[in-house]
Chain A
């Protein structure tokens, strides 16, 4: 065995890295099939209404086009996910702008835009609603009986009794905007149909088995006649979790009707305006605080805008609600969470999945409490941090030996927090720049929430191949995070083989089992653990068949494996998820072990606000986190820096401009993400406590870094200016408005005004 020369913990070369740097990787748009047609989507131009009439305009050779409407759907006209309310193609009613109505296909890609334009749709418009508040008012009911997709109630202790014991009652309301995932590769799919094999789709996607499920229902085909293959995927961030099922469905319908392969590739504007974004949110916090700054209890109302259909909103809401209390001890709490409907395209999965929204509120609120109580942002956190043995808002006992105070102290030291605060206090008296420091302390649960992993019941396989190498069989997808690399490391480690001897099967539902969706920071922790145990199965089999001694070399393994396959045929070992016995979750009361493990972090941002332009620059960013054992330091660091960059965009640049439910700035020229010139040095540090549930002690890491930047940066801006800001994105115009309002208030107060 090579246990002295461990592979986990080393920055081995990325499995598919060579193909990526040479341009050889095959993304869906790089793939061409013989006789392939190109598909396009005709979409709703209004937010809500009844379709009256569809006219195919003059000047287009319509007989050359394949045209698909809802009538061509062989099975159920819905995208099967959680609810079955979202149609694949609208037939009578449309409920949001850009809702798909018709599909076109033609051999010449460039003829499609003109054809789409030549189709005019007459509607009978219906009143539409666009904000959380309009949805709550229920003047129009656009979904169900009350516009509410889902609610949760988390209750701990007795909140009603805390108010009279409180020295301070601190209240605040916080909001976050929609955010576009903005993967650089737009969405795309190719579908091919043949009566005997059924439907096959190749695409840019995160979750092969979500699409598999959606296509079975839509095409009325049995499992074995639907095949989904993931191509190299150019970024996803949650944005390719659920919407690819829609595009796959569209390509499949065109392929079934035409009998030819059909490729649909969205252009940037279609991708930005029609597909999912991060849920806009509103959080109201009311907290009872003791004289010495301890949270006695409180109420948190967390509301998200789900758009027009259910899609993943209940799950996003759940994660947001569970994270709403932050890494703090609440003896009493009531969290009311609600996802409401509006006439916007459905909002969906995006890295962090509800947690960046509610944690922004919590961490801004901690600074507000500090201010009202007269403590520093450091001290208020210190006094309220969760300690091992205490319980979270869902009454999950913190079993990990996490020491948040120590984490905070180290982050303060790394960022030279106190020295800088002192320096800025002097420097901010002069000149046209104001500098500030902001802290965010937070946690992120790894894996599916509550009983989620039990329901998923993921399966992975490891195969001993005829040539003596090893192949990992999972539907978990690579889209930049390093899935292929880390899962290979785990298999190699478990088998005591060199990393090079392990390869990854292409995620293809014909070939790989359902290891669950590649979401929720679950891949390394949950799937990795299963890969480890399936790999050990291979080893055990070879040893118990007397083909391999207990201690073996890589060459001995190769020979034994070759011999096994030659004598007995296919050699595969499977491992299925089993919930640990000590994890309990009550879905009704929303109580118990919400996550098998949490990652913990303290981030500190240093900013400068320019008082002439009101622009904010982040000058330094310290990111300290405890993510269990780091299996691949280079990839882990890359995940954290990338997540923080997206978080900085979420905080300061990325604003979706809405008009009647439609994104108005659906281009990279007017929706602004950070460039290499916009980002500060991002300094990443890890603590490694380990984790009994994850492969080799790993926890999740992918989403955590998205949670911290917005509160750290906005806290820093508030620190620099002495004015609170409670929304992101925080653009220069918002800062100008905030400062103007503040100075007016001050003038009003100094003039002796009352109101």
Chain B
């Protein structure tokens, strides 16, 4: 297969990922999910269903929580994307990551990145959410392992620590 054939129809997209400027060549309708995972090697973003139902591929785009499996890369032009890789500061975990670890919020781990980003988004909108608001805020992210309780506790705990800090 020749290079020209491979790149025919591809366009150049520039956007910021976890604060770093990135430029990629991709088909306009390629999924943001695939560009993140395959071109940028940010494999923390997971695919669970490919149709926006499970939330495993959740990332933040200009501060809004999106399912990256439903976002054509075309739409990412000029945007600021945050993935799970952008949350910890070096080896220092984000307070949500710490709380997930301590409260048992991660079991198999496959929904965890999306779940943590959904929680991150929730805490940005509502720094002191009630349990009902946490349930609502995470209801777009499916987890088959935990039955959610320990995830809800983790988010509540992270909120407490953030407001205490």
Spell out A's residues near B (CB within 8 Å): 11, 13-14, 16-27, 29-30, 64, 107-108, 181-186, 232-237, 267-268, 479-482, 634-635, 637-638, 641-646, 667-669, 673-677, 679, 681-682
Contacts and interface: CB of A to CB of B under 8 A. Distances in A.
A29 B50 CA distance: 14
Given A479-B108, A635-B104, A637-B104, A23 B144 contact: no
A234 B88 CA distance: 22
A20 B147 contact: no
Interface of B: 1, 37, 42-51, 53-54, 56, 83-85, 87-88, 93, 97, 100-113, 116, 134-136, 138-152
B134 to A, nearest CB: 8
B47 A638 contact: no
Dominant secondary structure of chain A at its interface with chain B? loop
A233 B56 CA distance: 14
A206 B101 CA distance: 23
B109 A641 contact: no
Contact of A646 (B44, B54, B116, B144): B144
Of A17, A21, A22, A268, chain B has the most CB atoms within 10 Å of the CB of A21
B45 A676 contact: no
Contacts, number: 167
Contacts of B87: 22
Nearest to B53: A668
B107 A481 contact: yes
A234 B113 contact: no
Contacts of A634: 103-104, 150
Nearest to A649: B144
A669 B108 contact: no
Contacts of A233: 108
A21 B101 contact: yes
The 3 closest A-B pairs by CB, nearest first: A23-B44, A234-B110, A645-B147
B97 A21 contact: yes
Contacts of A181: 144
B149 A237 contact: no
A14 B145 CA distance: 15
A16 B109 contact: yes
Nearest to B38: A32
A181 B108 CA distance: 14
A682 B150 CA distance: 11
Contact of A184 (B37, B44, B142, B151): B142
B147 A682 contact: yes
A180 to B, nearest CB: 10
Contact of B49 (A13, A20, A27, A668): A668
B144 A638 contact: no
A184 B144 contact: yes
Given A234-B108, A638-B104, A668-B53, 16 more contacts: A20-B106, A22-B84, A30-B43, A182-B144, A183-B110, A186-B48, A234-B46, A235-B108, A268-B49, A480-B107, A480-B145, A635-B104, A642-B147, A675-B139, A677-B139, A681-B149
Contacts of B104: 11, 14, 634-635, 637-638
